[in-house]
Amino acid sequence: MEYLSLTGNKNNGISSGLAHSSSVLMQDIYEKTLTVAKLEKHVMLIGEMGVGKKHVARFIHNEGSRKDEPFHSFYCVDVDEAQFKDAFCEHVFIEGNHINLKYDLLEKSSKGVLFIDQFGELDISMMYSVLDSYRIGCHQLFRYNTSAAPRLIISISQESYKKLIGTEVWDYILQTLNPISIMLPPLRERKEDIFYLINDFISEISQTEATWENLNISDEAMNKCMAYTWPGNIRQLKNALTQGAVLSCGKTIQSHHLPFSMNWKLPYRSDSE
């Protein structure tokens, strides 16, 4: 596996934030991810839940040579067996005088990018099935035009990463895909990005309701957000601001509008109480 260890400098938020981060760490990640996007290499994104791995996958797709081709994603958490088989297992069909195998998700992603989200949440047999489907299916479907095979981007949590290292399935991942690995830091390690993320999210949330066009956040609520450790990372931050927008009726998000876990006050307590 080729590694770009992207936890060594310092910085931002990840969709638009990748390019406009405040922290040095995320600026470093942006530059290296932009380089990776231009390469015809498979990619593994490693990081805690909620750090923005899907946003990075889309960034890689949008900045790469396949940007005009399909982007498909498959979410592995709590996936049922029927859904998994429809996506990755071969289906026999007759074409003229030939019997061929069809791999539905691979064909949909042909020439584009297939993002397999939270790959480490699959059981071991399913992991092997995904890798076998890619290896055998691409040989079967794209043997005359290998460039049509989809580029894979897989994401795993840090916990799954630690468990997989050194296992047989890990060796098979390396043998089959030889991915470039990108490690994404949690929000608590780049707190200087929180201010810019909040502004981005408030701008985005304000467009979801016609009466929320003046949505903003108070200094006190901003300070609470800046001081919080955000165990749920970027996803939790956005959810907290969305709750704040609802409870403030799309006006000014105050400290007591934020989730109870961030505030010792009762969640509906007014400033006058």
pLDDT of residue 191: 87
What CATH number is given for 2-185 in this structure?
A: 3.40.50.300
Question: For 214-256, what is each residue's pLDDT tens digit?
Answer: 999 999 999 999 999 998 899 999 999 999 999 999 999 999 9
Per-residue pLDDT at 98: 61
The CATH topology of domain 189-258 is Helicase, Ruva Protein; domain 3 (1.10.8)
Mean pLDDT, rounded, of the chain: 84
- 76 pLDDT above the threshold of 60: yes
Q: Could you tell me the two tokens for 187? A: 């929000």
- Residue with the larger pLDDT of the pair 14 and 110: 110
Asked whether the domain spanning 189-258 has the same topology as the one spanning 2-185, the reply is no
Which SS3 state, helix, strand or coil, does residue 116 take?
Answer: strand
54-85 as b/e, with b when 16 or more CB fall inside 10 Å?
Answer: bbbbbbbbebbebeebebbbbebeeeeeeebe
pLDDT of residue 86: 84
Which residues, other chains included, contact 197 with Cβ-Cβ below 8 Å and sequence gap of 6+?
Answer: 12, 13, 17, 187, 234, 237
Looking at per-residue pLDDT, the higher value among 53 and 3 belongs to 53
pLDDT value of residue 96: 65
The two most distant CA atoms of the chain are separated, in Å, by 80
* Matching residue, tokens 């043998």: 175
Q: pLDDT (tens digit, 9 = 90+) per residue, 92-147? A: 656 666 656 667 888 889 899 999 999 999 999 999 999 998 888 776 766 667 77
Domain boundaries, the chain: 2-185, 189-258
pLDDT at position 192 is 86
Q: Provide mean pLDDT across the span 150-156.
A: 96
Percent residues over pLDDT 70 in the chain: 81
